[in-house]
Chain A
Amino acid sequence: MRSHGSARPAPGAAWPAPGWITRARRRWFGPTQPWWGVVFALPILALLVCFKFWPMAYAAWLSLTNATLTDRGGHFIGIHNYARLARDTTFIGALLTTGRYVGATIAVSMVLGLALAVLLNQKVPARGLFRTLIFLPAVVPIIVVPILWQFLFNPYGLVNDALKVLGLQPVNWLLSPQGAVGALVVATAWRLTPLCMVIYLAGLQSIPGELYEAAKVDGAGAPRRFRSITLPMLKPTFLVVVVFAITLTVQNFVLALVMTGGGPDNASTTLSLFVYQTGFIGFQMGYASAAALVMLLIIVAFTMASLRAFRTEE
Chain B
Amino acid sequence: MNVGTAAVRPSPRRAAARMRTQATTAALLLLLTGVTIVFLMPIVWMVSTSLKSNQHVFDLPIQWFPRQPLWSNYPAAYTTVHFTRYFMNSAIVTASVTVLNVLLSALAGYGLAKYRFVGRHVLLVLILATLMLPLEVIMVPLYLTVQRLGWLNSYQGMIVPVAANALGVLMMRQYFLSLPDDLIAAARIDGAGHVSTFLRIGVPLAWPALLTVAILIFQSTWDDFVWPFLIISNTAKATVPLAVQTFQSAETSNFPMLMAVSSIASVPLTVLFFVFQRQIIGGVATTGMRH
Q: What residues of chain A have their CB less than 8 Å away from a CB belonging to chain B? A: 1-3, 24, 27-28, 32-41, 43-45, 47-48, 50-56, 58-59, 62, 72, 116, 119-120, 122-125, 127, 130-144, 147-149, 151-152, 154, 156-158, 161, 190, 193-195, 198-199, 201-202, 240-241, 243-244, 247, 250-254, 258, 272, 275-276, 279-280, 285, 288-289, 292-293, 295-296, 299-300, 303
Contact = CB atoms under 8 A, between A and B. Distances in A.
A41 to B, nearest CB: 4
B43 A140 contact: yes
Contact of B281 (A135, A141, A156): A135
Contacts of B223: 141-143
B200 interface: no
B58 interface: yes
Interface residues of B, number: 87
A144 B225 CA distance: 10
Given A40-B107, A130-B36, A52 B130 contact: yes
Interface in B105-148: 105, 107-108, 110-112, 114-118, 120, 123, 127, 130, 132-145
A225 B288 CA distance: 25
A33 B188 CA distance: 11
Interface string B217-246: 000001111100010000000001100110
- Ranked 10 nearest A-B pairs via Cβ: A40-B111, A37-B115, A47-B164, A202-B285, A58-B141, A251-B134, A34-B117, A55-B138, A55-B141, A143-B241
B56 interface: no
A116 B36 CA distance: 10
B132 A303 contact: yes
B258 A279 contact: no
A76 B62 CA distance: 60
Nearest to B144: A72
Interface stretch (B73-81, B208-216, B259-267): B259-267
A261 B132 CA distance: 26
Contact of A40 (B45, B140, B198, B270): B198
B288 A280 contact: no
Contacts of B205: none
B44 to A, nearest CB: 10
Nearest to B185: A32
B95 interface: no
A72 B49 CA distance: 47
Interface in B239-291: 240-241, 244-245, 248, 255, 258-259, 262, 265-266, 269-270, 273, 277, 281, 284-286, 288-289, 291
Contact of B58 (A27, A62, A156, A198): A156
Contacts of B226: 253-254
6 contacts: A52-B164, A54-B145, A56-B138, A134-B36, A147-B262, A148-B262
B122 to A, nearest CB: 11
Interface string B33-69: 0011001111101100100000000101010000000
A151 to B, nearest CB: 6
B141 A62 contact: yes
A272 B31 CA distance: 37
A37 B141 contact: no
